[in-house]
Amino acid sequence: MAEEQEFTPREIDRIIEMAWEDRTTFDAIEFQFGLKEQEVIAIMRREMKPSSFRMWRERVQGRDTKHAAKRNFQEGTFKSSRQKSISQNKISKR
């Protein structure tokens, strides 16, 4: 494991948020924050209540969408045809 990095509370919140998101890969967290999967797990263990950590671990363990190499699609995410387009921070009207 790399040496312990110092993160602001805001960055830690974002790491936890990304880790909870089903479609955000550990590779994306590593790209943005330089943390390997085991380091993310250590942060989650340290920052969360034990019961919340166990619930999260059960969710992500073996989940294909958390690992880029296991995904059945290469890039992007699913987007419903009914989802409105967003352009320059304004929602386009139909």
The pLDDT tens digits for 2-54 are 456 789 999 999 999 999 887 788 888 999 999 999 999 999 999 999 999 99
Q: How far apart, in whole angstroms, are the C-alpha atoms of residue 5 and residue 43? A: 11
pTM: 0.65
Decide if pLDDT at 92 tops 80. no
Are the CB atoms for 26 and 20 separated by under 8 Å? no
